[in-house]
Amino acid sequence: MRILLVGEYSNFHNSLKYGLEFLGHEVTIIGDGDGFKRFPVDINIGNDFFERTWLTRKLKVGFWKVTGYNLADFLKLSRFRESEHLLKHFDIVQFINSNPFNCNASIERKMIDFILAHNHTIFLAACGDDHEYVKYLTEIHEGYSILDPVKRGELKQSDFLFTYKYLQPAYRENYYRILDAATKIIPSNIDYAMALKNQNKATSIIPAAINCGALQLDQNADLSVIKIFMGINRSNYWKKGINYFEEALEIIKKKYGSKVEIIIAENLAYQEYITKYKAAHILLDQVLCYDQGYNALEAMLQGKVVFSGGSEIYLKAHNLESVPVIDAQPDVDYLVEKLSELIENPSSILEIGRAARNHVLQHHESVMIAERYLKYYKK
């Protein structure tokens, strides 16, 4: 089959592509590379022209303040138009979400409409913010979530525009435009599946695919100083609950001094990011989630001890008794306790890390996951 994967972030579609190609299918990814992260795509509509100089950045910001439009979106649309002849007559098209090109909704709609008009069998992934997910979080969801800082009054909705925009009419219409055309919507983890309980097009969870051959077991056997890594993307700092990790790390530094080394990385391209945590024993991924995200899974594959989602909700959804992840909860004292246990029992770090790699191999290997997608595609 010829398969078009629309949009890319966190290596989600690249890893699925690897599995699909291994099984003999022709796969094309179109996207913008997810901005500074620079994930590989086959048809790249991204353009960094307005980020190259101080003047072009000011021009972009000024135009946005006056008109509400991002000039970079028009460049993306132009590059999309140049590639339209490559985007027709695919057997399967899968959108990563309803805003796959990270543009204003009206410009995004033009690109979505073209793809829908020239292809017929459509699927939608649920693996990030979208209308149904955000609506669920604001109206129904109980427990902690990415919107906790707003619910607690610490931040305003305007500080979370990237998420709350999906409640706006134009973004909502784009979501249902794709969903109405789609055969199925496929959630990648329990966080997104919870929002789709009453959605009749939703499938059961298909976990995120990981290209397990691309990353080897890479544990740091020197446990004399425990190295703790935390990556920060400022645009989703609050959504991931990084503030809880930062507070916990301040306590850990005072408590253990030279016994620990804290490694912080901000806004790095993907290849730089995975290189940066190479020597780490522990990786702090995110707090306000119930499942593991992509960064967590790739770190687990390399034998790191990861703090991410791993609660009873996760275990029940995946029919598991346990998971080799430290369930990260929005409680600083709890995070300090869990970090302290690892620092004071360093041999457990290597043991948990090896179990984490085995977990990813058993539940996320890309060819196995691609076969699960193909069952829906072939129907």
Residues 201 and 266 in one domain: no
Q: Which residues pair with 261 in a beta bridge?
A: 227
How far from 265 is each of 230, 234, 259, 274, 343, CA to CA, in Å? 7, 11, 20, 10, 21
Query: What's the domain range around 26?
Result: 2-212+366-378
> Does 56 share its domain with 196?
yes
**Residue 68: predicted pLDDT:** 58
328-347: pLDDT as tens digits:
999 999 999 999 999 999 99
Instruction: Report pLDDT for 242.
Output: 95
Is 200 found in the same domain as 60? yes
Residue 59: per-residue pLDDT: 53
Q: 209-244: per-residue pLDDT in tens?
A: 999 999 999 999 999 999 999 998 887 899 999 999
pLDDT at residue 228, as a whole number: 97
Tell whether the model's pLDDT for residue 67 goes beyond 80: no
349 has pLDDT over 50: yes
Per the domain annotation, does 302 fall within a domain? yes
Q: Are residues 180 and 251 in the same domain?
A: no
pLDDT score of 271? 81
Of 54 and 184, the one with more pLDDT? 184
Distance CA 295, CA 151 (A): 26
Structural domain contains residue 22: yes
Q: How far apart are CA 200 and CA 70, in angstroms?
A: 35
Query: What pLDDT was estimated at residue 273?
Result: 85
**Considering the chain, what is the average pLDDT of its residues?**
92
DSSP assignment of 90-104: -SEEEESSS-TT---
195 — phi, psi (to 5°)? -80, -10
Residues 258 and 197 in one domain: no
Q: Do 183 and 288 share a structural domain?
A: no
**Is 220 inside any structural domain?**
no
Quick one: pLDDT at residue 66?
A: 46
Does residue 242 sit in the same domain as residue 195? no
**CATH number of the domain to which 28 belongs:** 3.40.50
Question: Within a domain: residue 221?
Answer: no
| pLDDT of residue 108 exceeding 60 | yes
- Tens digit of pLDDT for each residue in 12-49? 999 999 999 999 999 999 999 877 678 899 999 987 65
Same-domain check for residues 358 and 370: no
**Is 217 part of a structural domain of the chain?**
no
Does residue 39 lie within any of the structural domains?
yes
pLDDT confidence band for 52 (50 / 70 / 90): low
SS (H, E, C) 220-241: CCCCCCEEEEEEECHHHCCCCC
Q: Same domain, yes or no, for 27 and 166?
A: yes
The per-residue pLDDT for 19 is 98
Mean pLDDT to the nearest integer, 201-211: 97
Average pLDDT over residues 285-300: 94
Q: Are 240 and 353 found together in one domain?
A: yes
Q: Is residue 219 part of a domain?
A: no
Check pLDDT > 90 for residue 81.
yes
- Please report, for residues 23, 105, 293, 312, the alpha-carbon distance to residue 190 in angstroms, rounded to integers and kept in the order given: 27, 27, 11, 11
pLDDT tens column, 133-160? 999 999 999 899 999 999 888 888 988 9
277 touches 260 (CB < 8 A): no
Residue 356's domain is classified under what CATH number? 3.40.50.2000
Number of domains comprising the chain: 2
User: Would you say residue 60 has pLDDT above 60?
Assistant: no
184 and 231 belong to one structural domain: no
Establish if 162 belongs to a structural domain: yes
Count, in order, helices (H) and strands (E) of the chain: 16, 11
301 and 198 share one domain: no
pLDDT digits (tens, 9 = 90+) for 253-290: 999 999 999 999 987 887 888 888 999 999 999 999 99
